[in-house]
Amino acid sequence: MSKIIYIELSKLLIPEFEAHKQIPDEYITEITESIKTLGIIEPLIVRKIDKDYEIVAGCIRYRCAKIAGLKSAPCIILGLDKKAAEILKIHENIKRVPLDHIDQGNTFVMMREEFSMTEQDIASLVGKSLSYVSQHISLVSQDEELIRAVREKKISFSQARLLMTVPDKSKRRGWLFTCQNSGATSETLEVWIRDWKNSLITNPPPADSGESVSYVSQTLQYLRSCQACDKPTEINHIRQLILCLPCYTAIFNAILDEKSKVSQNNTPPDA
């Protein structure tokens, strides 16, 4: 059994790469209060770095211990190299505070670049599919607006994955805005993107224009007909409601009745 020793907090080092970039304040408060009452129940795992010790598992406990006013913490010293330490961190994160999608992507990128691991190696290590790892690596290479939307949970990972397939930045940005502000589902977004891509096939840019596909995406306005007034409307101005079937039917029938009245009023009298 590994020996537990108390090490001064001043001798503990935060690792160069931390998987967790954002920890909920309520979680920090909860752990801090627990440490104030019970102390650190589970020792930190550390490895020797010169005269100090790098934290392998327990960075959150370390931060909370400092907030709680502790001077030292129980630790277990393991003889780990950098790669073994990072692997242990990953398993620790899976067990404790799961990484969000952005932190996962950053961690996968670090493993690929720092340890020359293939995406298949990473997938096998973390117990995920190859496509899962590839998609998360692609996610963190996207523009900051999309990354922030995922980080702040304004869109789902499924929506982000669909938006990543749209090469046109202005089109992608418009759909991102719609997803965040109008509640467009992944299913709806998938239909929009599929229809748009099909339109690029049927309406290609002029052969002699020297323009790429983005030419079409910049000039093509993607419109949907409003079910109430039948007016062609840009998708950024389309709004969705979540209704049960009876309510949807009642509202839709009322719209049809109103359309019928308008049509009758606009019908010219017989000559």
Q: Determine the pLDDT at residue 161.
A: 92
Report how many domains make up the chain: 2
65 lies in the same domain as 117: no
Q: Is residue 215 part of a domain?
A: no
For 82: left if phi > 0, alpha if psi spans -120 to 50, otherwise beta; the answer is alpha
Q: Determine the pLDDT at residue 271.
A: 42
Per-residue pLDDT of the chain (271 residues; tens, 9 = 90+): 578 899 999 999 988 877 677 777 888 899 999 999 989 988 999 999 888 999 988 888 999 999 999 999 999 999 888 888 888 877 776 656 667 899 889 889 988 988 888 999 888 888 889 999 999 999 998 889 999 999 999 999 999 999 999 988 888 998 999 888 877 888 888 988 888 888 777 766 555 544 444 434 443 445 566 777 767 676 666 676 778 888 878 887 888 888 777 666 655 555 4
59 lies in the same domain as 117: no
Q: Determine the pLDDT at residue 143.
A: 84
Q: Determine the pLDDT at residue 168.
A: 86
* The last residue of a domain, from among 141, 162, 196: 141
* The last residue of a domain, from among 62, 97, 132: 97
Q: Is residue 150 part of a domain?
A: no
69 lies in the same domain as 33: yes
49 lies in the same domain as 77: yes
Q: Is residue 6 part of a domain?
A: yes
52 lies in the same domain as 135: no
Q: Is residue 71 part of a domain?
A: yes
Structural domain range at position 103: 99-141
Q: Determine the pLDDT at residue 212.
A: 45
Q: What CATH number should be reported for the domain holding residue 8?
A: 3.90.1530.10
118 lies in the same domain as 31: no
9 lies in the same domain as 75: yes
Q: Determine the pLDDT at residue 84.
A: 86
77 lies in the same domain as 106: no
133 lies in the same domain as 66: no
110 lies in the same domain as 36: no
137 lies in the same domain as 81: no
Q: Is residue 44 part of a domain?
A: yes
Q: Is residue 86 part of a domain?
A: yes
Q: Is residue 225 part of a domain?
A: no
24 lies in the same domain as 92: yes
* The last residue of a domain, from among 141, 168, 203: 141
Q: Is residue 218 part of a domain?
A: no
